[in-house]
Amino acid sequence: MSLHLQRDLDKLKKEILKLGNLVESAINSSILALNNRESSYAEEVYEFEAEINEMEVKIEEDCLKILALHQPVAVDLRFIVVVLKVNNDLERMGDLAKNIAQRAQELMQQVPVSYPDEFVNVMPAKIRTMVSNSLDSLVKMDLELAHGVIDMDDTVDGINRDMYSQVKQMIKNTPDVTDRAIGLLSISRYMERIADLSTNIAEDVIFMVGGKVIRHSD
């Protein structure tokens, strides 16, 4: 590998980590907006999301430049292909964080309803860990971390399924909370999608390190 290619790959790695940190910050602020019913956290999310969009475009341009200038092969080529995919997944996570913040602001305007404990505590903690570990697995090329992210996805899926049942019961027992209950269900779905995107990143890391595609292998 040439020194120029190594320099560009190192820069790319730093850029995708910076983007990941922005996404983590956006997700954290969106959850704080929901749990604290504080609009200032939602405003932070909108600022993060605008920066995320700008970075996503820059990283894509940098990846294409490296492909054109260096024509990398083997693991370097797989790394760049994975960064392109991860870049897109992170941008989508930023969109989902914005969606959570918007729903949280809508809920702030209404009388609060009780949230299931798993939705308030377990689910947010899981998705934050999944996002962080998926990015660490990419930078460190750590297969164990990547597989751990994939395993955690089942927990998030289960909580999201339970939310459907609990919201249905909530609406049945107290019809006048229907709009608020549906808002909570939407947020649960957004968090579940963030977990799915983290899983995508972990699966891409497994491909990058071992050249093995495991998506849709079940």
From the DSSP assignment, how many helices (H) and strands (E) are in the chain? 7, 0
- Domain containing 101 — which CATH number? 1.20.58.220
Burial of 61 (0-12, 13-18, 19+ CB in 10 A): exposed
User: What is the band of 139 on the pLDDT scale with cuts at 50, 70, 90?
Assistant: confident
Structure-block tokens of residue 176: 């006048």
Domain-embedded: residue 11: yes
pLDDT reading at 116 higher than 90: no
Domain-embedded: residue 82: yes
Domain-embedded: residue 216: no
Domain-embedded: residue 218: no
Domain-embedded: residue 17: yes
Domain-embedded: residue 217: no
Domain-embedded: residue 122: yes
Which one-letter amino acid corresponds to residue 19? Answer: L
Domain-embedded: residue 174: yes
Give the angle 141-146-147 at the CA atoms, nearest 5°: 135
pLDDT reading at 95 higher than 70: yes
| 21-41 pLDDT per residue, tens | 999 999 999 999 999 999 999
pLDDT reading at 91 higher than 90: yes
How many CB atoms are located within 10 Å of the residue 84 CB?
A: 18
pLDDT reading at 135 higher than 80: yes
Range of the domain at 111: 3-210
Backbone Cα Rg of the chain: 19
For 176, which DSSP code?
A: G
Domain count, the chain: 1
